[in-house]
């Protein structure tokens, strides 16, 4: 494989993972799984950042991934706290039941 | 050659993990599939030469965050009726079609990348030493700010998940 093809395959895997995460967010109704799918999308983007960082031999992309991971950890903690609070109020984590903002 | 085989294996398992994540009914299985996917991503980082990120990916994602997810799922003690049906509704079919169209679009866009003529300047080593040096020189301010973000998330999570007296 030449470097360009190499990069293309990594980007393709990244795109496919992002697509899976997006479809998951659209089809699942369990808030925890929707949240997991968002994590999957974040990881897919991380993969493409690392692939470009490796292709261009530039550590900037790697640093960006490092910060994305830190923010993702913070986001996971807050998101799961929100899900726990939601479960306390509604006895459910089904996002079809949480629809005050819908109308 | 070994690298190529490794890439295809890891990519296949990462995608299988993703498919398992969006199709299995039990939330616990979903988290386990996600762990498979994240481990394979760590392997892909290794094949790209980003050793530091591969280690961080395993510790932070496959370790800490996924354990947190498992804890929350066990804490909530979901019953059988919280599992979702898997019947094909119009909305779901539409979501799958949308996903495939989106993927085709992205692959087409990436296919035009060689025409941009951005030169290859690798190979890359994401070793700990140069990254740590950069982190404490060029990226010192964001590095310090991340600690504030983490502290805010910690306190916010405690405030949100606390039992409020009604």
Using the 8-state DSSP alphabet, how is residue A100 labeled?
Answer: T
Chain B residue with minimum CA distance to A58: B124
Q: Å from B41 to nearest chain A CA?
A: 7
Mean pLDDT of A10-19: 93
Q: Which of A1, A23, A29 to mutate to test the interface with B (most CBs of B within 10 A)?
A: A23
Do B109 and A7 meet the contact criterion of CB atoms below 8 Å apart?
no
**In this model, does residue B113 exceed pLDDT 70?**
yes
**In this model, does residue B35 exceed pLDDT 90?**
yes
Q: Do B76 and A93 touch (CB under 8 A)?
A: yes
Q: Do B57 and A69 touch (CB under 8 A)?
A: yes
Mean residue pLDDT across chain B: 86
Instruction: Give this prediction's pTM.
Output: 0.90
Q: What is the count of residue pairs from A and B with beta carbons less than 8 Å apart? A: 226
Residue-level pLDDT at B81: 63
**In this model, does residue B16 exceed pLDDT 80?**
yes
Q: Which domains does chain A have, with CATH numbers?
A: 3-90 (1.10.287.3510)
Residue-level pLDDT at B82: 62
Q: Do A73 and B103 touch (CB under 8 A)?
A: no
State the SS3 of chain A.
CCHHHHHHHHHHHHHHHHHHHHHHHHHCCEHHHHHHHHHHHHHHHHHHHHHHHHHHCCCHHHHHHHHHHHHHHHHHHHHHHHHHHHHHHHCCCECCCCCCCCC
Residue-level pLDDT at B49: 85
Q: Do A63 and B53 touch (CB under 8 A)?
A: no
What percentage of chain B carries pLDDT values higher than 70?
90
The ipTM of this complex is 0.90
**In this model, does residue B3 exceed pLDDT 90?**
no
Q: Which of A54, A67, A84 to mutate to test the interface with B (most CBs of B within 10 A)?
A: A54
Q: Do A27 and B96 touch (CB under 8 A)?
A: yes
Q: Do A36 and B30 touch (CB under 8 A)?
A: yes
Which candidate from B38, B76, B92 shows the least CB-CB separation from A87?
B76
Residue-level pLDDT at A2: 75
Mean residue pLDDT across chain A: 88
Q: Do A67 and B142 touch (CB under 8 A)?
A: yes
**In this model, does residue B20 exceed pLDDT 80?**
yes
């Amino acid at each position: 494989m030449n470097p360009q093809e190499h990069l293309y395959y990594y980007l393709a895997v990244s795109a496919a993972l992002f697509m899976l995460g997006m479809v998951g967010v659209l089809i699942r109704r369990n808030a925890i799984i929707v949240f997991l799918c968002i994590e999957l999308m974040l990881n897919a983007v991380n993969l493409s950042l690392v692939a470009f960082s490796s292709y261009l031999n530039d550590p900037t992309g790697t640093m960006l991934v490092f910060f994305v991971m830190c923010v993702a950890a913070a986001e996971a903690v807050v998101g799961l706290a929100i899900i726990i609070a939601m479960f306390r109020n509604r006895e459910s984590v089904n996002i079809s039941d949480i629809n005050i903002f819908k109308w | 050659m070994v690298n190529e085989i490794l890439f295809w294996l890891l990519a296949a398992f990462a995608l299988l993990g993703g498919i398992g994540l969006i199709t299995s009914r039990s939330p616990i299985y979903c988290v386990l599939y996600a762990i498979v996917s994240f481990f394979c991503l760590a392997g892909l980082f290794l094949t790209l030469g980003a050793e530091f990120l591969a280690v961080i990916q395993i510790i932070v994602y496959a370790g800490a965050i996924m354990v947190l997810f498992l804890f929350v799922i066990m804490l909530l003690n979901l019953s059988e009726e919280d599992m979702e049906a898997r019947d094909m509704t119009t909305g779901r079919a539409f979501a799958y079609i949308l996903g495939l169209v989106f993927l085709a679009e992205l692959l087409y866009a990436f296919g035009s990348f060689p025409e941009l003529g951005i030169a290859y300047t690798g190979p890359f080593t994401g070793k700990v030493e140069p990254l740590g040096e950069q982190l404490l020189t060029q990226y010192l301010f964001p590095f310090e700010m991340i600690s504030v973000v983490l502290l805010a998330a910690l306190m916010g999570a405690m405030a949100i998940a606390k039992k409020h007296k009604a």
